Chains A and B, each alone.
Chain A
Amino acid sequence: MNSRPHGPRTKFPNLRSIGAISRSLLCLLLTGLTLGVTDVEGQPVHVRTVLKPPPTGSTPHVRVESKGVGAFETIEIVSRWDSAGYKVFADFASLDDGGLEPAVIDSGNGSYLFQHTTGDITEFIDGSSVIIPIIAIGSRDTTTWRTFAVCRNTSGMPRHIETHIVDEKRVYRPGDTIVVESRWRPAGYIPVSIEADYRSLAPRFQHDPGGVTTTRDHRDYVFTITYQIPGTGLVEEQNSIPLSVIATDPLCSRIRYDGMRIDLRTGSAPAPIAHTLVSPADRGVREGDALEVVSTWDATGYEVRADFTGLDNGTGGSASVLDADSGRYVVRYNVGSLAGLRDQTVRIPITAVNRLGDSFTDLGFQICRNQATPGPLHVQSELLGERTLFHPGDTLKIVTRWTSPTGLKLTIEPDLSALVPSFVPSQAVTTEIEPGAYRIVFKLPGRDNLARDGPGIPAVIVARDELCSVSRFDGIRIDLDKTAPATVPIFDDLPAESGSRVLRVTGTSQDASWVALLRNDVFQFRTPVEPGTFRFEADLDLVNGVNKINAWAEDEVGNKTPLGQSHHVSYVGDRATRYPTPFVPGDAFVVHDSGGMTEARLAVFNLQGDRVIDFRKDGSFLEAKFAWDGRDVDGDLAQPGYYLIRVQRRAADGKTSTEVNSMLFRND
Chain B
Amino acid sequence: MRARAPFSWLLLCGALLAAACQARAERAGAFPHIEPWPSSLALGGLADGLGGGVEAVLLNPTGMLHEPTRGLAVSHASLFEGNLVNHQAAAFCWVRYEEKADWAGGRFRSSPDQASSSLGIGFTNLSGDLPDTNTYGEIEISVAYARKMLQGVQAGARVRVLQARSTVDASGGGGMALDLGLSGRLAGFRVGGVARSLVSAINWDRSLDDPLPRAYDVAIERPAPAGIVLVAGASLYGDWQPRRAGVGARFSATSLPISFSAGSAWRDLDADPQADLSAGVGIRVRSFRFDYGLRTSPEELGEIHRFGLQIRFP
- CB distance A606 to B28 under 8 Å? yes
Q: Does A533 count as interface, using CB distance less than 8 angstroms?
A: no
Stretch at the interface among B4-12, B19-27, B115-123: B19-27
Q: Does B79 count as interface, using CB distance less than 8 angstroms?
A: yes
Q: Which chain A positions have C-beta within 8 A of B34?
A: 607-608
Q: Does A346 count as interface, using CB distance less than 8 angstroms?
A: no
Question: Contact flags (1/0) for A615-649 with B, using CB distance below 8 Å?
Answer: 00000000000000000101011111111101010
- CB distance A9 to B32 under 8 Å? no
Q: Does B207 count as interface, using CB distance less than 8 angstroms?
A: yes
A31-B307, A660-B80, A660-B81 given as contacts; is B30 within 8 A of A641 (CB)?
Answer: yes
Residues 82-98 of A at the B interface (beta carbon under 8 Å): 97
Alpha-carbon separation in the docked complex, A666 to B172 (Å): 10
Q: Does A20 count as interface, using CB distance less than 8 angstroms?
A: yes
A20-B303, A662-B129, A662-B130 given as contacts; is B28 within 8 A of A668 (CB)?
Answer: no
- The listed residue with most B CB atoms (<10 A of its CB), out of A17, A636, A663, A665, is A17
- CB distance B84 to A13 under 8 Å? no
Q: Which chain A positions have C-beta within 8 A of B82?
A: 4, 6, 660
Residue of B nearest to A613 (CB): B27
Stretch at the interface among B64-72, B151-159, B290-298: B290-298
Q: Which chain B positions have C-beta within 8 A of A268?
A: none
A9-B300, A667-B207, A668-B208 given as contacts; is B290 within 8 A of A32 (CB)?
Answer: yes
Residue of A nearest to B292 (CB): A28
Residues 67-101 of B at the A interface (beta carbon under 8 Å): 79-82, 84-85
- CB distance A2 to B129 under 8 Å? yes
The 3 closest A-B pairs by CB, nearest first: A639-B29, A641-B30, A641-B29
Query: A16, A612, A664, A667: which contacts B296 (Cβ < 8 A)?
Result: A16
- The listed residue with most B CB atoms (<10 A of its CB), out of A97, A639, A661, A666, is A639
Q: Which chain B positions have C-beta within 8 A of A662?
A: 84-85, 128-131, 136
Task: Contacts A14-B277, A606-B29 known; list 19 others, CB within 8 Å.
Answer: A4-B84, A20-B296, A25-B281, A31-B290, A97-B133, A582-B171, A607-B34, A607-B126, A609-B301, A640-B29, A642-B85, A642-B138, A660-B80, A662-B84, A662-B128, A663-B130, A663-B131, A668-B206, A668-B207
Question: Contact flags (1/0) for B282-293 with A, using CB distance below 8 Å?
Answer: 010000001010
Can you give 9 contacting A-B residue pairs, CB < 8 Å? Answer: A14-B296, A27-B307, A28-B292, A606-B27, A611-B299, A639-B28, A644-B84, A646-B301, A660-B301
Alpha-carbon separation in the docked complex, A612 to B299 (Å): 12
Alpha-carbon separation in the docked complex, A646 to B204 (Å): 26
Range class of the B interface residue count: 35 or more
- CB distance A640 to B27 under 8 Å? no
Q: Which chain A positions have C-beta within 8 A of B171?
A: 582, 664, 666
Query: Nearest Cβ distance between residue B303 and chain A, in whole angstroms?
Result: 6
- CB distance A634 to B25 under 8 Å? yes
Q: Does B31 count as interface, using CB distance less than 8 angstroms?
A: yes
Q: Does A581 count as interface, using CB distance less than 8 angstroms?
A: yes
- CB distance A605 to B301 under 8 Å? yes
A638-B29, A639-B210, A667-B208 given as contacts; is B281 within 8 A of A609 (CB)?
Answer: no
Q: Which chain B positions have C-beta within 8 A of A17?
A: 277, 279, 294, 296, 303
A20-B294, A666-B207 given as contacts; is B134 within 8 A of A610 (CB)?
Answer: no
Q: Which chain B positions have C-beta within 8 A of A661?
A: 84, 131
Q: Does B302 count as interface, using CB distance less than 8 angstroms?
A: yes
A20-B294, A664-B130 given as contacts; is B300 within 8 A of A644 (CB)?
Answer: no
Q: Which chain B positions have C-beta within 8 A of A28?
A: 281, 283, 290, 292, 307
Q: Which chain A positions have C-beta within 8 A of B160?
A: none
Query: B25, B131, B292: which contacts A24 (Cβ < 8 A)?
Result: B292
Q: Does A33 count as interface, using CB distance less than 8 angstroms?
A: no
A2-B84, A658-B300 given as contacts; is B27 within 8 A of A642 (CB)?
Answer: no
- CB distance B301 to A644 under 8 Å? yes
- CB distance A660 to B84 under 8 Å? yes
A25-B281, A662-B130, A666-B206 given as contacts; is B298 within 8 A of A639 (CB)?
Answer: no
Query: Nearest Cβ distance between residue B24 and chain A, in whole angstroms?
Result: 6
Q: Which chain B positions have C-beta within 8 A of A24?
A: 292, 294, 305
Alpha-carbon separation in the docked complex, A502 to B182 (Å): 64
Query: Nearest Cβ distance between residue B35 and chain A, in whole angstroms?
Result: 9
Query: Nearest Cβ distance between residue B295 and chain A, in whole angstroms?
Result: 9
Query: A25, A32, A579, A643: which contacts B29 (Cβ < 8 A)?
Result: A643
Q: Which chain B positions have C-beta within 8 A of A27?
A: 292, 307
Q: Which chain A positions have C-beta within 8 A of B312?
A: none
Query: Nearest Cβ distance between residue B40 and chain A, in whole angstroms?
Result: 13
Q: Which chain A positions have C-beta within 8 A of B207?
A: 640, 666-668
Question: Contact flags (1/0) for B139-168 with A, using CB distance below 8 Å?
Answer: 000000000000000000000000010101
Q: Does A503 count as interface, using CB distance less than 8 angstroms?
A: no
Q: Which chain A positions have C-beta within 8 A of B31?
A: 641
Residue of A nearest to B209 (CB): A640
Q: Which chain A positions have C-beta within 8 A of B300?
A: 9, 646, 648, 658, 660
Residue of B nearest to A2 (CB): B131
Alpha-carbon separation in the docked complex, A2 to B167 (Å): 15
Alpha-carbon separation in the docked complex, A530 to B24 (Å): 70
Residues 206-254 of A at the B interface (beta carbon under 8 Å): none
Alpha-carbon separation in the docked complex, A368 to B129 (Å): 82
Q: Does A125 count as interface, using CB distance less than 8 angstroms?
A: no
A21-B279, A610-B267 given as contacts; is B299 within 8 A of A639 (CB)?
Answer: no
Query: Nearest Cβ distance between residue A581 and chain B, in whole angstroms?
Result: 5
- The listed residue with most B CB atoms (<10 A of its CB), out of A97, A636, A658, A660, is A660
Q: Which chain B positions have C-beta within 8 A of A637?
A: 208, 210
Alpha-carbon separation in the docked complex, A168 to B287 (Å): 84
Q: Does B102 count as interface, using CB distance less than 8 angstroms?
A: no
Q: Does B33 count as interface, using CB distance less than 8 angstroms?
A: yes
Query: Nearest Cβ distance between residue B286 and chain A, in whole angstroms?
Result: 14
Alpha-carbon separation in the docked complex, A24 to B290 (Å): 13
Residue of A nearest to B82 (CB): A4
Q: Which chain B positions have C-beta within 8 A of A663?
A: 130-131
Residue of A nearest to B29 (CB): A639
Residue of A nearest to B271 (CB): A633
Q: Does B243 count as interface, using CB distance less than 8 angstroms?
A: yes
Residue of A nearest to B30 (CB): A641
- CB distance A607 to B130 under 8 Å? no
Q: Does A353 count as interface, using CB distance less than 8 angstroms?
A: no
Q: Which chain A positions have C-beta within 8 A of B26?
A: 632, 636, 639
- CB distance A638 to B27 under 8 Å? yes
Q: Which chain B positions have C-beta within 8 A of A665?
A: 29
Alpha-carbon separation in the docked complex, A13 to B265 (Å): 13
Residue of B nearest to A577 (CB): B131
Residues 1-18 of A at the B interface (beta carbon under 8 Å): 2-4, 6, 9, 13-14, 16-17
Residue of B nearest to A9 (CB): B300
Query: A13, A14, A639, A664: which contacts B136 (Cβ < 8 A)?
Result: A664
Q: Does A603 count as interface, using CB distance less than 8 angstroms?
A: yes
Question: Contact flags (1/0) for B102-121 with A, using CB distance below 8 Å?
Answer: 00000000000000000000
Residue of A nearest to B27 (CB): A610
Q: Which chain A positions have C-beta within 8 A of B56?
A: none
- The listed residue with most A CB atoms (<10 A of its CB), out of B25, B283, B294, is B294
- CB distance B296 to A13 under 8 Å? yes
Query: Nearest Cβ distance between residue B105 and chain A, in whole angstroms?
Result: 48
A581-B131, A606-B28 given as contacts; is B212 within 8 A of A639 (CB)?
Answer: yes
Alpha-carbon separation in the docked complex, A449 to B80 (Å): 61
Q: Does B173 count as interface, using CB distance less than 8 angstroms?
A: yes
Alpha-carbon separation in the docked complex, A662 to B294 (Å): 21
Query: B28, B129, B292: which contacts A610 (Cβ < 8 A)?
Result: B28
Query: Nearest Cβ distance between residue B264 and chain A, in whole angstroms?
Result: 9
Query: Nearest Cβ distance between residue B81 and chain A, in whole angstroms?
Result: 4
Alpha-carbon separation in the docked complex, A6 to B131 (Å): 18
A13-B276, A28-B290 given as contacts; is B79 within 8 A of A607 (CB)?
Answer: yes
A13-B298, A610-B28, A639-B28 given as contacts; is B290 within 8 A of A4 (CB)?
Answer: no
- CB distance A664 to B292 under 8 Å? no
- CB distance B131 to A610 under 8 Å? no
